[in-house]
Amino acid sequence: MIRQGLQTVGTRGDRHHAVGGGHPRRCRMSTEAVSWALRDAPDVPAQCVAVLVGLAEHADKHGRGAYPSAGTLAGYARKSKRQVHYDMEALAEAKLIRFGDQSLAAKFPLNRRPVVYDLAVERVQVGVQSIAPQEPEPGVQPASGVQPASPLQSTSPQDADDLQEQHGMQSTAPQENEFQGCNTAQPGVQSTANKPPTKPKSKPSSRRRDLNEGRQDVERLCTHLADRIEANGSLRPEIGKKWRDAARLMLDTEKRTEAQVHKAIDWCQDNGFWRRNVMSMPKLRDQYDRLRLQAQEERDRDAANGRASPGGHLKQRPAGSPRDSWMDDRR
């Protein structure tokens, strides 16, 4: 019934607007009804508070005679009209609103006549008390240990000493014995006046030692690869920590010799395919075994076919040539 009643209300069929158009006129707001909706109304669903306050704004001080339109309530609550209908049903089920005197809306046409509601202002929350400060009744003593606050007084040096003596407080002014490095008021407490200041303990450095520091062999290999890459027409690469780590691991962990890595650099930078793919020391380390196997395969093929000398004779480079010694590293 409540939803049907709200659906028959026009967008201007409330106290804010006259039926025949014209300028809107403001109704008299009831602070009592609004206060009840905000503070005293019991068991109000959280989503219905704004709609209940909107109804209270259009009611009298007794919470009666509220007939705002669904559009007005939707504007108050920032909701749709459908949501307002649901909130009205929830408020009716909670017995916070009820149908009022419908004759109050008899001045409106039937097709735009709103439904009149009354608020159940007689219902209040249990245990709600005023928290306003109350004056103590005459003849009533304050609780034990609680003294009424007194107005601020001047605290000259003499007055401050008097107050301390009255309340059993000790003076905080410097005494003669404090300058001598002892405190007679607290026996057993050692003086800290003459104690030299202690130096803060230095925390151990969390910086790790650079394993590449002082490694001339690592620097020579990195510089040689950078020189060959630049000689092939590419931009000279920047030698960083990753380069030095890769060269050091090849020497220390993988047990390559500096001469073997140096020759591997020369071979890959002379090869048309590998010079495009080995542009850094980490890449050389990753592809080292593939470079070695391919170089060994080419050496064996050349040894089987033989090499032609300028005079037409075939010459063969011995397999144990120093230039090819790095290829026999089978680790």
Domain segments of the chain as ranges = 2-119, 216-328
Sign for the pseudo-dihedral over CA of 250, 292, 281, 242? negative
Say which residue the tokens 């890959």 belong to: 268
Q: What is the pLDDT of residues 87-136, one digit of tens each?
A: 999 999 999 999 999 999 888 898 888 899 999 999 988 765 444 445 55
10 Å CB burial of residue 282 (0-12, 13-18, 19+) is middle
Q: What is the pLDDT of residues 163-221, one digit of tens each?
A: 455 455 454 444 444 444 444 445 555 555 566 667 666 665 567 788 888 899 999 99
Question: For residue 95, what are the contacts with CB-CB under 8 A and spacing of at least 6?
Answer: 120, 123
Sign for the pseudo-dihedral over CA of 154, 158, 161, 163? negative
What confidence score (pLDDT) does residue 112 get? 84
pTM over 0.75: no
Question: For residue 32, what are the contacts with CB-CB under 8 A and spacing of at least 6?
Answer: 61, 62, 63, 121
Q: What is the pLDDT of residues 36-74, one digit of tens each?
A: 989 899 999 999 999 999 998 999 989 999 999 889 999
